[in-house]
Chains A and B, each alone.
Chain A
Amino acid sequence: MLLTALFVCAARGEFDERLRTCGGCHGADGNSAMAGVPSLAGQPRVFLEHYLVMTREGIRGSELMQQLLKGVTDREIAAIAQHYAALAPRNEPGPLDSALFERGKKIAQASRCGTCHAPDYRGREQMPRLAGQREDFLVEAMRAYRENRRRGGDTIMAASLYGMSESDLKALAHYFAHFK
């Protein structure tokens, strides 16, 4: 009994340590203040699980994330995903450019982004939350999808962004970052 309790405590300690590592870049409450680093708070649990497993496997994500996830078990990944899915997203984007926002809105509607990412862009299941995500991260992620530089996702996002211009992507990112 005592042994079990000790074991649980040790595991809890390790898990907290793991979360501190994540929080170092993604923000202690899962809302990132670091340029180019995505917020995790309020992301769908399934999306986080898929992302973390595939990155650990070396199929998607950055080299850095792959290094950080080396040896992390499925059970820990499930716990990390659950943790960040339950945190509240804080929407603190920079100044609003209403013309750009409106243009982004039009493109998002014409491109039917809400079909998968949900009409309020909170994401669902394997599809990430876009609302309130960092604008710089969104632009770069979409660029990488469009140019087929983003490893491991299936081809859905590349096909969805095919042919969009740089200014289309910037408008979309601005719209999602400011979406409330």
Chain B
Amino acid sequence: MKRAASTLSAALALAFTAPIALSQDKPKPPPAWWQGKPEAMKDSPLAPHPGKMTETPAAEIPIDKIKLPKGFKVEIWAAGLPGGRAMAFGDSGKKVYVGTRLIGRVYEVTDHGDKRTVRIVADKLTQPAGVAFHKGSLYVFAIDKVLRFDGIEDRPDVAPVDLTDKFALPPEQHHNWKYIAFGPDGKLYVPFGAPCNICEPPKEYAQLRRYNPDGSGMEVIATGIRNTVGFDWHPKTGKLWFTDHGRDWMGENAPEDELNVLAKEGAFFGFPYCHAKGVPDADIKKPDPCKGVTLPIATMGPHAAVMGIKFYTGTMFPKEYQGAAFIARKGSWNRTELFGFDVVTVKASPDGKNVKIAPFMTGFLEDAKARKFWGRPAYIAQMKDGSLLVSDEQMGAIYRVTYQKK
């Protein structure tokens, strides 16, 4: 950690020139939670919302509060997975693997048709948020560890293969919990977030990489990305669409979170100089900060914590939803009134133009002014029958959304 902290210190020295005067040898790098926090806001009590670490029984989840467009229905599909977020279906379609952050577990949910059972397949990991399934194997990315569970659907006790060395993970933890996914090219896509709120990131960070499944052939395919924890490939164009969290402490309404398209590999998405649709950073300045920056196709709201994205390729939902992207917004902490806490649909032309964003699944937010909410939708997965699964990281539950024509 010492080493990691000094790297960060060096990276931040230029941007933050007011070290705290304490008896110490080196200037102190501001911790990530106050980087970029202006003097005027130094007493602001805003802080990230705590998760819930204990099981919430299905009977205690206020599912009736969820609102959906006409004809859609929601049910509790699985409960008792504290901290559950990203979901990856096994090849059989009967099992879903679910990653977590602080609680350190990976769950396996088995679908028995009329009910689901949950078991823990891995634990004691450092934020194993990344899960993906490929050719019979489950891949798990913790911040400091990569594990592969071969044939786990049929061999529940299989010992994992440790691939950590192959992927050469850098040491910083902040924003380095992962979302991972295999692309249509069979390669594994892995983000490395900026290890700060706002900083000149060290060279291994603020980027998206692609690997062969065994960790070889690493390529950095995009840079200037603060923290993406959700992506999917457009069903028509095959292009990667990804969500990205905007920085904190630059105001109640700016900069907004982003929805980006990687149209050309090697593109630079602006962090730390240029945010959202061309908002220059308040702390890290340079002339022409947005020059050469690929801007988002849409902004997704201030501090919204935009998470999972899934293009709908099923036929259960009405035509107008087919080909649309569903995006979960886990909800804000860094603004006075809460924002987000919902799932929205994004309809756009295949090249990302004419974007229309509309609420789809709401009701998790009870009182924005009083900062009251009960659930935090995080990720979306599509079932074989075309229904959607939505994970709620706060309740440790997975909901299933279906549609029935009247």
Binding site for B on A (CB under 8 A): 46, 49-50, 53-54, 57-59, 74-75, 77-78, 107, 110-112, 114-116, 118-119, 125-127, 148, 154-156, 158-160, 162-165, 167-168
Contact = CB atoms under 8 A, between A and B. Distances in A.
Contacts of A148: 1-2
A58 B124 CA distance: 6
Q: How large, as a class, is the contact surface on chain B?
A: 35 or more
A125 B23 CA distance: 31
A163 B24 contact: yes
Given A59-B124, A112-B42, A162-B5, A125 B54 contact: no
10 contacts: A57-B104, A77-B54, A110-B22, A115-B42, A126-B51, A148-B2, A154-B102, A155-B1, A155-B174, A163-B26
A177 B165 CA distance: 44
Contact of A168 (B22, B43, B44): B22
Contacts of A110: 20-22
Contacts of A156: 31-33
Interface string B95-107: 0000000111100
Interface string B232-275: 00000000000000000000000000000000000000000000
A126 B22 CA distance: 27
Nearest to A58: B124
A127 B47 contact: yes
Given A53-B54, A159-B29, A116 B105 contact: no
Contact of B31 (A58, A126, A127, A159): A159
Nearest to A145: B1
B33 A162 contact: no
B25 interface: yes
Contacts of B45: 115, 118
Contacts of B43: 114-115, 119
A49 B54 contact: yes
Given A53-B54, A160-B31, 8 more contacts: A54-B104, A57-B105, A59-B124, A116-B47, A125-B47, A154-B174, A156-B31, A159-B29
Which DSSP category, helix, strand, loop or mixed, fits chain B's interface?
A: loop
A125 B50 contact: yes
B123 A58 contact: yes
Nearest to A51: B53
Nearest to A155: B173
B31 A164 contact: no
Contacts of A107: 22
B55 interface: yes
Contacts of A155: 1, 32, 173-174
B34 interface: yes
A162 B32 CA distance: 12
Given A57-B104, A58-B123, A116 B33 contact: yes
B28 interface: yes
Interface in B367-403: none
Nearest to B176: A155
A50 B32 contact: no
Across chains A and B, which 9 residue pairs bring their CB atoms closest together, nearest first?
Answer: A159-B31, A126-B50, A148-B1, A74-B54, A53-B53, A163-B24, A125-B50, A74-B55, A163-B28
Interface in B33-50: 33-34, 42-45, 47, 49-50
Contacts of A127: 47
A43 to B, nearest CB: 13
Given A110-B22, A155-B1, A50 B28 contact: no
A131 B50 CA distance: 21
A126 to B, nearest CB: 4
A138 B28 CA distance: 21
Given A53-B103, A159-B32, A162-B5, A115 B123 contact: no
B1 A158 contact: yes
A57 B123 contact: yes
**Residue among A49, A127, A148, A162 with most chain B CB within 10 A:** A162
Contacts of B23: 165, 167-168
B49 to A, nearest CB: 8
Nearest to A118: B45
A162 B28 contact: yes
A46 to B, nearest CB: 5
A168 B54 CA distance: 36
Contact of A57 (B1, B21, B28, B103): B103
A59 B104 contact: yes
Contacts of B55: 74-75
A121 to B, nearest CB: 13
